[in-house]
Amino acid sequence: MAHFYQSSRDEVLKELKTSEQGLTPEEVSKRQEQYGLNALLEEKEATIFQIFIDQFKDLLVFILIAAAIISMLSDNVESALVILAVITLNAILGTVQTVKAKKSLQSLKALSTPHAKVIRQGEKQEIPSTELTVGDIVLLEAGDVVSADARLLEAYSLQVNESALTGEAVSVDKGIEPILTENCALGDQTNMVFSSGLVTYGRGVAVVTNIGMETEIGKIATLMNETEARKTPLQRNLDAFSRRLSFVIIGVCIIVFILNMIQGASTIDAMMFAVALAVAAIPEALASIVTIVLAIGTQKMAKENAIIKNLNSVESLGSVSVVCSDKTGTLTQNKMVAQQLYISDELINWDQLHPNQDPDRLLMLACGLCNDSTTTTQQRIGDPTELALVDLLEKYQIDEMDLRNKYNRLSELPFDSQRKLMSTLQMIDGQSTMLIKGAPDELLARCHQVFTVDGIRPLSSTDQQVYQEINQQFAKQGLRVLGFAYKKVDKDELEMNDEHDLVLLGLISLMDPPRIESAEAVADCKQAGIKPIMITGDHKVTAKSIAAQIGIYEDGDFVLDGNELDQLSDEQLKQKLPHISVYARVAPAHKIRIVKAWQDLGHIVAMTGDGVNDAPALKSADIGIAMGITGTEVSKDAASMILTDDNFATIVKAVMTGRNVYANIKNTITYLLSGNFSGILCVLFASIFMLPVPFYSVHLLFINLVTDSLPAIAIGMEKSTRNLLQEKPRDARESILDTITMKRIATEGVLIAIVTMIAYFIGLEESHGLAATLAFATLCLSRLFHGFNCRSKEFIFNIGLFSNMYSIGAFVVGFILLNSILLLPQLNSLFMVTDITLNQLGIIYLLGFIPTLIIQMNRWMKTNKE
């Protein structure tokens, strides 16, 4: 077979090289080496430079530059240098943060890169689609995304949806017949498959003819302009809030400017102070910090086996109240193992087969031949059920590849979810023999005879009843059951109507045990106010058995199958919905209906899936979750999150991380706004009562640089705790700045403003310069301490003072920088601070700590009351 593919490949490449100017694999590799890496590096450099330039595209930066120029013209060179240094440092920090966030998202994108199945060196391999090259032999199956343009060598009932290219939603039948006309539409090229096409049915083998920008979809891509990524709803909300806040603060700054002029300050000094107040008061770093926190969250989820494809999903995860999960591989181990068999009117264990007896031998041939999975020492490729059948053969020292080489597949009818059957045609013992496997209820209806050790006999109604009872017995134990049959035919090509008048061989039960962690994850879901629901294509009895084992199904719950679901009106379904915990034998349309019903009741729904038929439901859910191991590329494309371990427990972890990310963002906003509010209150108080300004412009710039960014980012790094499981899912429509948060911002901001003004008045008894120094240092230190308050709403020792070392680090860096300014003579004049005594330094430390002491004591008392 490999030799046939190689010769066919060579013929296609020879044709391509003369008529279509194709490239050999060696030429492609050389081209990628020459242009691929260099182009990537050039793009990277250009992007970083552009990001750096973008940091200056801000109104406030322009105002600061103007202020620096004014300072230079007024011979205040030191202030000008400080302003320019702050601008440059902010731009560098913003560039570094943005590049890190981009790298995080790019690494996540790389993790979710589609894979392609190829034959190289005569072996079946699975490689990232980016490694495909011209001449590769690609294997296509239902659910795969075509990753390159390719010429078909084989096609079995192959249908491909090429809507990305043609706009036609109807799948196109594909075959190996050559193109008859030169100038035909893409859809007419039935012997070609094109990059971005979705295999919706059948199987095929093709040789790659074009990759990357040389594909048809690549040619279209070159005509498109790049578009900027959309901001998340939270970012848009915060941007709008920042703009409104900016107008308010600019109004305050104008008032402060006028009041300073009235007090006799020069125009330049009044303007410099007003500009510095605006820069210090407006949380212009908020949007970038939110992006960083979201990117950190996605990185954490990636380490926990959940790849987030877009940042919006991180926000939505915290609101999830319903999780609809597939059973196989998500709640279970996805490692099917053969258990008991019913053959020749006898119930036996997996190790009691007799390969020399005709029924047993034919059943074992069906296990290996009516099967598309393969196992090598390097990897296992295929459906878990089919892999279990291969494993069964290996226990009898039978290699599936030896069987397939001995009994070549002549034709096949691939499995699909409607028929629930798969059929293959081989020459066995000199006779064309069709082997069939599938769902027992579907198979039994098509069988008229049964093969036993005593020969072939008619399948009586009693036999039918016995097989049905065995099937039910297996299902009640939570086992998956496959039926096997065969039929001798006089043809070389199978048709759908051949799947009748079959000879029954027997039943094989397989177990996919629940994951050890599934029961705990389900319990965590319920504790967190999230309803877990099982949706599966398995039998109703099987689904209920597994659901009961892991805690999804409880006494009083309902179990519905697809037919029962069809009997319910939308209103009836909504009434029963909270009590239905298991759905069995459901079709794709049912999944969409279930999701929509929950959404109509105001819930945020997460849906898992792995197949082509799951894609519509994944797309309609608020959070579509695809399986990274068993999932098709179609399902991964439709999903917003991919599980690299196909584990339900990972979903619960991701939801908790989503809640934690949202809480961290909220705490970051509280920190920034409460600190900025305290500064505004101090300036307004001094201006209204005609007092000298409490801060110089350089003080406000330092506060903006040190006490805004470092502690805020550290708060965003706060780890999640089990306490998040005690909270109910938040309403996605609620404002991030709710009444409670606004009260907290106001209260904490007033506390910091009070101690700052106390320090100001203490210094004012001696001089204005000392007053400004004490006020600046107290405000700066109290905000550094306040970073610990904003880590959580709980008492600091309940969450652990040292549980977030980033917060400790931010405080230490800020504390050292502040004391360097206060105590080093070289920096005194640069930052316009006066000499202070040890007693005055002690006053700064004491006053700076008082707001945090009051806040933490209040929390401690509340904790003790509870």
Helix (H) or strand (E) holding 852: helix 838-865
- 3 state DSSP class of 245: helix
Which of 620, 317, 369, 318 lies closest to 484 in space, CA to CA? 369
Tokens describing residue 805: 């070392």
Give the residue carrying structure tokens 């998956």.
480
According to DSSP, the residues that pair with 332 across neighbouring strands are 514
Helix (H) or strand (E) holding 341: strand 337-343
Strands (E), 29-134: 115-120, 123-128
299 contacts 722 by C-beta, under 8 angstroms: no
Strands (E), 19-103: none
Helix pair angle (768-789, 805-823), 10° resolution: 170
| Phi, psi values for residue 433, rounded to 5° | -125, 125
Rg (CA), the chain: 34
| Phi, psi values for residue 152, rounded to 5° | -75, 135
- Whether the CA torsion 127, 128, 132, 137 is positive or negative: it is positive
Q: How far apart are CA 818 and CA 703, in angstroms?
A: 10
- 3 state DSSP class of 509: strand
632 contacts 610 by C-beta, under 8 angstroms: yes
Q: Please tell me the number of Cα atoms within 13 Å of 695 on its side-chain side.
A: 35
According to DSSP, the residues that pair with 127 across neighbouring strands are 116
Task: Give per-residue burial for 406-424: e unless 16+ CB within 10 Å, then b.
Answer: ebebbbbbbbbeebbbbbb
Which of 852, 831, 681, 711 lies closest to 782 in space, CA to CA? 852
In order of 145, 330, 626, 837, the CA distances from 141 in angstroms are: 9, 22, 18, 79
In order of 462, 469, 538, 546, 806, the CA distances from 475 in angstroms are: 20, 10, 9, 10, 53
Q: How far apart are CA 558 and CA 579, in angstroms?
A: 6
Tokens describing residue 191: 């012997």
549 contacts 371 by C-beta, under 8 angstroms: no
Q: What angle do CA 576, 640, 204 make, to 5 degrees?
A: 100
Task: Count other Cβ atoms within 10 Å, centred on residue 778.
Answer: 30
Task: Count other Cβ atoms within 10 Å, centred on residue 771.
Answer: 25
Q: How far apart are CA 727 and CA 733, in angstroms?
A: 17
Helix (H) or strand (E) holding 456: strand 455-458
Q: How far apart are CA 111 and CA 570, in angstroms?
A: 40
Q: What angle do CA 699, 705, 663 make, to 5 degrees?
A: 125
Catalytic residues: 326
Q: How many residues does the chain have?
A: 866
750 contacts 678 by C-beta, under 8 angstroms: yes
Which of 688, 829, 692, 682 lies closest to 764 in space, CA to CA? 692
Residues sharing a CB contact under 8 Å with residue 793, sequence separation 6 or more, in sequence order: 859
Longest alpha-carbon distance in the chain: 115
